Structure 1
Amino acid sequence: MNKGKQRSIGNIAGIVGIATFISKIVGLVREQVVAAAFGVGAVANAYAYAYVIPGFLLILLGGINGPFHSALVSVLAKRDQKEAAPLIETVTTLVTAILLVVTVVLIVFAGRFIDLIAPGLDSEVRAIAIQQFQIMAPLAVFAGLVGIGFGSLNASDQYWLPSLSPLFSSLTIIVGVGGLYWFLGEEINDPEYVKLGGVVLAVTTLLGGVWQWIAQQIAQMRSGISGFRLRFDWAREGLDDVMKVMIPATLSSGMLHINVYTDLFFASYLPNAAAAMRYANFVVLTPVGIISNVILVPFLPVFSRLTEPDKWDELKLKIRQSLVLTGLTMFPFSAIFVALSEPIIRIIFERGVFRADASALVAPVLLAYGLGMFFYLARDVLVRVFYALGDGNTPFKISILNIFLNAFLDYILVRSFEVQGLVFATIGVNVISMIIFIFLLNRRLNGLPLWEWAGVFSILVVASVVSGIACRAIHEGLTYFWGDDGFVLQFINLSVASVGAIALFLTFGKLLKLPELELLFNRVLAKLKR
C-alpha cells in the first residue's frame, strides 16, 4: 500500500531478521522438546507423516513469502491503503469458504491420505498418524487466514508481528509436550501412553495455528486494514489481480511441495527415516528461515516496483544483490553443516530419549541438507521475481516438471544413498530450476550479466569449501587438545570452529570487494553503535 514514508530495505531486514530469529530460536526449543520426549520413535515418525499436508498448507498458504503473502504484497503495494480493507475481506471470505471444504475432505479421508503419503508404515504408526492428521486438519483454514494476515500487514508496512507470530505455535507445543514429558518422563513412549503423546502433539500444533491467527487478526483490526466482516463482493476491483498471482503461485508452490510427498513415500520404507529428515531439515531451516525472511520480505515489494521496462536495469541490480546476499549467508552455513553435522546434532538433540544412535541416523541427513541450502533459497528469490512481474504461470509450469524430475531422482538415488539420496534429489531439482529461471529472466529482461555473476559465485563456492575444511580441522584440533566430554566443551568446540569458518569465508568476500558485503558490514556496525 502506498504510504507517505516507506521503510528502507535495511530497516525492514533488521526488523524481520530480529523477529524471525526469535521465532526460530523458540522453534528450535520446540524441536528439542519433541526430540527429548519422543526421539525417533513411533510418535515422532507418525507426526512426520501426519503433519505433511496440514504443515504443507501452513507453510504454503500461511508462510511469509508464500503465495498468499506474495500475491497480496505485490497487489496492495501498488494501491492506496483505503482500498485495502474491502479487498482483504473479500479475499478472506473466498479463501475461507474454499478451505473449509478442504478441511472436511481431509478429516473424512484421513486414512486414505496417510496411505497415499506413506504406504510402508506399520499398523501402530499408521493408526497414530491418522488420528493426528484428523486433529490437525483444521489448520487448512487457519493457514489461509495467517497467509492473508502476513501479506496484509507487510503491505501496510508492518513487519514485527508477522515475523514474530510463528513463535506462538511453537510455544503451545513446548508447553503441551513439555508438560506431558514432565509428568510421564520416558514412560511417554510406553505403549500405554504413546497414543496420548500423539494426541497432545497434534492438539498443541492446531492450537498454535489458531493463536497465530488471533494475534494477526488483532493487529489487522487495530490498523483498520481488515476485520471479521464477511464480504461477498466478487466484482471488487483488485480481486482479479490478487487471484491472477495467488492461484498459479499456490499451484506452483503446491507442486513444489508434492516433492515432499514423493520423498516421504520412499522414506516410509526406510526405518525411522521420516523423523530423521524432520529433525535435520529443521536444523537447516532455522538459518534458512531467518535469512529468507530478511532477503525475500523486503525485496519482494522492491521487485514489484521495478517491473516497468525503463526500470529493468535497477531490477537487475536488485536481483544480483538478493542472490549475492543469499550466497554470502548460505554458503558459510553449508560449510559448517557439512563439516560438523554430527557435533551439531549431538549438541542440539541428545537429551531425553534422543541418544547417540539417533544422532548417528540424523547427522548424515543434516550433511546432505547442508549441501543444498544456497540452491533452495536462491530458487525462491528467482521465483519472487516472476511473481513481481505478475507471472505465476512460469513457476507453475516448472514446478510440474520438477515433480517428475524429483520422483525420478528419488528412485535412482535412494538405492545408493538411502535417506541422503532423497535429499540429494531435492538439491538436483532446485539446481535445475535455478538454471531454467535464470535462462528465462535473461531473455525477458533483455540480458543479465551472467558471466560476471558466475565469476562471483565461483569464488564464493571455493571459499565455502576452504572454510568447511578449516572448520573441520579446527574442531578436530580442539577435540584432540581438550576433548569433548560434556555440553560446555562440545559447545566451545562447535562455536570456535563455526566462527573460524565464517571469518575465513567473509575474508574471501572482503577480498572480492563485494558491495553487498560492504553494505552488510555497515549495517551491522550501525546496529551495534546504537
Structure 2
Amino acid sequence: MLRASAIMAAGTMVSRVTGFVRTMVLAYAIGTAALGDAYNAAYAIPYSILDLLLLGVLSSVVVPMIVRAQQNDADGGRAYEQRLLTLATVGLVLVAAVAVLAAPLLIDLYTDWDRGSTKFEVSVMLARFILPQLAFFGVGAVAGAILNTRDRYGAPMWAPVLNNLVVIGVFVMYAVVGTGNDIERVTDSDLALLGLGTTAGIVAQALVLIVALRRAGFSFVPRFDVRNARLGEMVKVGVWTIGYVIVTQLGFVLTTNLASSAGNVVAGHGITPYTLAFQLFQLPYGVIGVSVITAMLPRMSRAVAEGRLDDVRGEFGSSVRLVCSMMVPVSLLLMVIGPAITVPIYARGATSVADAVYIGNVLQVYGLALVPFAIFQLLLRVFYSFGDTRTPVFIGAGTTAVNAGLMVLFYVLLPPAYAVMGLALAYAIAYALGAVLAWILASRRVQGLGGWAVGMAMTRMYLAALPTAVLALASVWVVTETLDGLGFLNSVIVLAVGGGLGMLLYLGVAHRMRIPEVNSIVGMVARRVGR
C-alpha cells in the first residue's frame, strides 16, 4: 500500500504544486475582490454538481461494484465497465446542457448577490463558459475509477497536472491581454478567455485518462443494454450516498452565501479567500490522504467480500497511522505559519499583502481541521467497503447540521472582517465531532478498530511534532519582531526555517522515537534516492 500510495502521492504533489502556480496566477490576474469572487463562485458550481451526481458515488458505490463485477462476471467485468462509461457519458452531457441553461438560478443559489448587479451577471456568464466541463470531468472520473480497480494509479493522479498547465497558460494570457481585475471594465471576450480556458483544462485532463484506460487494455464499446447495468443495485446502494452528498452540498451552499455576504461588506474578505485557503488546506489531505484511501478502498472491499475482518481492521489501522504520521506536523505548521505560506503565493499583482495575510489567517484556522477531517474520511471508507452507504448519510447529516449551526452563530457574533475565519472554525469543530461519532459506529461494525493503539501512536506523533511547532513559532516571532512584517522575503525565511527545517526536525525526532510509519517513509525515500 505504501508503494501504491507513493506513486499517487508523487503525481498528486506535482498536481498540487502546479495547482499552487495556478492559484498564484489567478490571484495575480484577477485578485480577491469582485472579479475574483465572481470567477470562484462560477468555478465552484460544476464541482458541487459533480459531487452530487457522481464523485461521491465513485468511491462508495462504483469502485466496490466494479471490483465485484471483475471477480464474479465471466468476462472479468468488461461489459459492465463499458455500460457504466456509456451511461456516464450520455447522462453528464445532458446534465451539462441543463446546467448551462440554469446558470442564473445556480449563481443565485450559491451567492448572496443581487440579481442584475455586475458581479452577478459576470458570474453567470463565466458559469455558462465553465459548466460544459461537467461532461468531460465526469467521464474522466469514471475512467479514473476503472483504472484504480486495475491498480493503475499513475494517470488519475498525473492527469490534473496537464489541466493546471493549460489553465496557467490561460491566466497568463489574461494577465497580458485582459483588462485587469476591475469588474466594471471586463469585456465579454475577457470572460470567454477565462471561462473557456478553464474548461479546456478539464478537456485535456479527460483525454489523458481515456488514453491511459485504452493502454490498460480497456476497449470502449458503447453499450445501451441498461438492463444489465445493475442500475437497481446501484440506485439502492447509491441513494444513500447521494443523500450524504446532498446534505454536504447544502452546507456548502450556506458557506458560499455567508462568505459572499461578508465580501459585500469587506472587499477581499469573501468567497475568494475562503476558496484559496480551503485549497491550501486540502493539499496535505490530497497528497497523502487521498493517495492512501485510493489504495486502501479496493483492498478493504476485497477483504470484506471474503469475510476477512482482521484484514479490514489491519488495513484501516495502518492507513490511519500512515496518514496521521504526516498530517500531524503539517497541521501544526499550518496553524503557526499560515500567513507565511500565503504571502509568497498570492501577494502580487491584483492581490495585496494584506489580502494574502488574511488568506493565511483563514488557513491557520483550517489547520485545526486537518487531522480530524482526514480521519473522518478514512472512517467513511470502512462503511463503503461493506457496501453500507446509509450510515455515512446520518453521520454526514449530523456533521453538516453542527457545521451549519456554528457557521451561522460565528457569522452573527464575529465582525464581517473575521466571518470567513469563523466559517473555518465551524468546519474544524464539526469534523472533529463527526470523526468521534464515525469512529464509534465503525468500531461496532468491524468489532473494534484498535483505538488504543491508534491513540498511542498519534500521541507519539504529536510529541515528536512539538519541537517543530516551537521552531516555527520562534521563526515567526523573530521575523516579525526584528524585521518589517511578513513581506515576501520575510515569509520565505519563515517557510525555510519553520517549515523546511521544522519538517526535517520532525522526521529526525520521529525516527529517534522509532515511529514505524515515519521510518517506512524515510526508508523508502532513502532507497529511491540511493538508486
TM-score (norm 1): 0.90
1:410 Cα deviation after fit: 0.8
How far apart, CA to CA, are the structure 1 residues paired with 2:465 and 2:251?
28
CA RMSD of aligned residues (A): 2.7
Matched position secondary structure for 1:305: helix
Correspondent of 1:106 among 99, 103, 110: 99
- Aligned residue for 1:208? 201
1:508 Cα deviation after fit: 5.0
Contact 2:313 2:448 in 1 (8 A): no
- Aligned residue for 1:6? none
Matched position secondary structure for 2:32: coil
Report matched runs for 1:339-350 at 5 Å: 339-350=336-347
The one-letter code of the counterpart of 1:67 is V
- Aligned residue for 1:74? 64
Distance 1:252 1:429, change over 3 A: same
- Aligned residue for 1:220? 213
Distance 1:488 1:422, change over 3 A: closer
1:488 Cα deviation after fit: 5.4
- Aligned residue for 1:5? none
Contact 1:252 1:397 in 2 (8 A): yes
1:120 Cα deviation after fit: 3.8
Report matched runs for 1:514-525 at 5 Å: 514-525=515-526
How far apart, CA to CA, are the structure 2 residues paired with 1:470 and 1:231?
59
Matched position secondary structure for 2:226: coil
Correspondent of 2:398 among 396, 401, 404: 401
1:240 Cα deviation after fit: 5.4
**Mapped pair 1:198 → 2:191:** yes
- Aligned residue for 2:449? 448
- Aligned residue for 1:282? 279
**Mapped pair 1:130 → 2:124:** yes
How far apart, CA to CA, are the structure 1 residues paired with 2:283 and 2:450?
32
- Aligned residue for 1:388? 385
- Aligned residue for 1:256? 248
**Mapped pair 1:305 → 2:306:** no
Distance 1:42 1:237, change over 3 A: closer
Matched position secondary structure for 1:158: coil
Distance 1:57 1:170, change over 3 A: farther
1:372 Cα deviation after fit: 0.9
- Aligned residue for 2:8? 16
How far apart, CA to CA, are the structure 2 residues paired with 1:114 and 1:69?
28
Question: C-alpha offsets along residues 48-95 of structure 1, whole Å, 9 cap, x if unaligned?
Answer: 2112220224566676xx532553332333425943332122112223
How far apart, CA to CA, are the structure 1 residues paired with 2:201 and 2:395?
33
How far apart, CA to CA, are the structure 1 residues paired with 2:237 and 2:19?
30
Matched position secondary structure for 2:304: coil
The one-letter code of the counterpart of 1:255 is V
Question: C-alpha offsets along residues 446-475 of structure 1, whole Å, 9 cap, x if unaligned?
Answer: 223223322332343455455323212034
The one-letter code of the counterpart of 2:228 is R
- Aligned residue for 1:319? 316
- Aligned residue for 2:143? 149
The one-letter code of the counterpart of 2:39 is Y
How far apart, CA to CA, are the structure 2 residues paired with 1:62 and 1:133?
19
1:237 Cα deviation after fit: 6.5
The one-letter code of the counterpart of 1:221 is R
Matched position secondary structure for 1:119: coil
Count of residues in Structure 1 that have an aligned counterpart in Structure 2: 518
Unaligned runs of 5+ in 1: 1-8
How far apart, CA to CA, are the structure 2 residues paired with 1:446 and 1:525?
37
- Aligned residue for 1:334? 331
Contact 1:475 1:493 in 2 (8 A): yes
**Mapped pair 1:378 → 2:375:** yes
Distance 1:420 1:355, change over 3 A: same
Distance 1:512 1:256, change over 3 A: farther
The one-letter code of the counterpart of 2:385 is A
Contact 1:484 1:493 in 2 (8 A): no
Q: % of aligned pairs identical?
A: 24
Contact 2:118 2:184 in 1 (8 A): no
Distance 1:431 1:487, change over 3 A: closer
1:34 Cα deviation after fit: 0.4
1:179 Cα deviation after fit: 0.8
Contact 2:35 2:183 in 1 (8 A): no
Contact 1:50 1:114 in 2 (8 A): yes
How far apart, CA to CA, are the structure 1 residues paired with 2:488 and 2:54?
36
Contact 1:68 1:144 in 2 (8 A): no
Comparing 330-339 with 485-494, greater Cα deviation is found at 485-494
Matched position secondary structure for 2:410: helix
How far apart, CA to CA, are the structure 1 residues paired with 2:473 and 2:36?
31
Question: C-alpha offsets along residues 26-65 of structure 1, whole Å, 9 cap, x if unaligned?
Answer: 11111111000111122210122112220224566676xx
Question: C-alpha offsets along residues 119-158 of structure 1, whole Å, 9 cap, x if unaligned?
Answer: 2458111111111122222222223212111111111221
Matched position secondary structure for 1:372: helix
How far apart, CA to CA, are the structure 2 residues paired with 1:467 and 1:173?
35
- Aligned residue for 1:3? none
Question: C-alpha offsets along residues 311-335 of structure 1, whole Å, 9 cap, x if unaligned?
Answer: 2222212211111122111121111
- Aligned residue for 2:291? 294
- Aligned residue for 2:162? 168
Matched position secondary structure for 1:26: helix
1:188 Cα deviation after fit: 5.0
Distance 1:146 1:308, change over 3 A: closer
- Aligned residue for 1:369? 366
Distance 1:12 1:311, change over 3 A: same
Contact 1:259 1:407 in 2 (8 A): yes
Comparing 132-141 with 301-310, greater Cα deviation is found at 301-310
How far apart, CA to CA, are the structure 1 residues paired with 2:429 and 2:114?
27
